[in-house]
Amino acid sequence: MRWKGRRQSDNFEDVGKGGGGGRTVVGGGIGVLIVAAIVYFMGGDPSQILQQAGNTVPTQNEAAVEDSPERKESKEFVRVVLGDTEDVWNKLFAQMGQQYKEPKLIVFTDEVQSACGMAGAATGPFYCSADDQVYIDLSFYDVLKNKLNSPGDFAMAYVIAHEVGHHVQHLMGITDKVHAMRSRLSEAEYNKLSVKLELQADFFAGVWAHHAQQMNNILEAGDIEEALNAAHEIGDDRLQQRSSGRVVPDAFTHGTSAQRMHWFKKGFETGDISQGNTFEAADL
């Protein structure tokens, strides 16, 4: 993907370790003590940090994560991809006579507090409709490459575009409609609907790739194959680890590998939102 030197979205926040949502706590907690201890052992003066901790400290300051060159580059990359999704969805919503509300992307490390609950890195990237934010631990890049057999920057771009696709569904009222049906359906029936929601997010990721290519000429040879490969490798629940008491908003069955590839491809080839009614589609 061609991304270097392009616009980076400002709808972005790196909340570090155990942070999130701009929430504040009094005291600063154990993270501050650890930072203070590190400063002490490094020969610094921890009293300043402990003093600050006495005030109300934003949780995200508890343990800011220092940027390695790789991490800095990953952050720039996700911000460019997010910027591309803004370009595309602003345009497509305007064409429908609506205004697109841009989501915020939260980069976290290990654990994060979202309006949907606590989430860990093992959750994988997710979208929380309660705060309109996409959450991602950048270590997912390595997970994609090394554990999910999906190398390539465009595999990561596809994952981000999929999460933004969930945001688009939320803005369109589709998410709420599906959630509202939960109590009226059996678990199996509801799971089927959830798959359709996931496949539509894949379709929207494809629609994004189509228009981002037209608008910003982003694609390099092999990019679409990278996305399709990722769609294949992360079929079903491979991204998710359920554990009780922790949020797993994206934890339902995502559809088979073939289904995911089919819908991403359809979105990419048509670029036409109206072709993405996975709920009515016969070819599921």
Rounded to a whole number, what is the distance in angstroms from the first to the last CA of the chain?
Answer: 30
In the bound state with Zn ion, the residue whose beta carbon lies nearer, of 57 and 199, is 199
Asked if 202 interacts with Zn ion (CB under 5 A), we say no
In the bound state with Zn ion, the residue whose beta carbon lies nearer, of 79 and 167, is 167
Mapped onto helix, strand or coil, the DSSP state of residue 252 is coil
Given the rule CB under 5 A, which of 108-116, 136-144, 222-230, 249-257 is the region that contacts Zn ion? 249-257
CB atoms near residue 18 (< 10 Å): 19
Torsions phi, psi for 126 (to 5 deg): -150, 165
| Residue showing the smallest CB distance to Zn ion in the complex | 250
Given the rule CB under 5 A, which of 82-90, 186-194, 199-207, 214-222 is the region that contacts Zn ion? 199-207
In the bound state with Zn ion, the residue whose beta carbon lies nearer, of 119 and 201, is 201
Please report which residue ranges of the chain form alpha helices under DSSP H: 29-41, 47-54, 69-95, 140-142, 153-171, 174-180, 187-216, 223-233, 257-270
Given the rule CB under 5 A, which of 81-89, 146-154, 190-198, 219-227 is the region that contacts Zn ion? 190-198
- Asked if 203 contacts 263 with a C-beta cutoff of 8 angstroms, the reply is yes
Given the rule CB under 5 A, which of 16-24, 25-33, 103-111, 248-256 is the region that contacts Zn ion? 248-256
Asked if 250 interacts with Zn ion (CB under 5 A), we say yes
In the bound state with Zn ion, the residue whose beta carbon lies nearer, of 102 and 198, is 198
Q: Which residue has the tokens 């670029």?
A: 271
- Asked if 102 contacts 126 with a C-beta cutoff of 8 angstroms, the reply is no
Minimum CB distance to Zn ion, residue 70 (Å): 26
Give the interface with Zn ion as residue ranges (CB under 5 A): 198, 201, 250
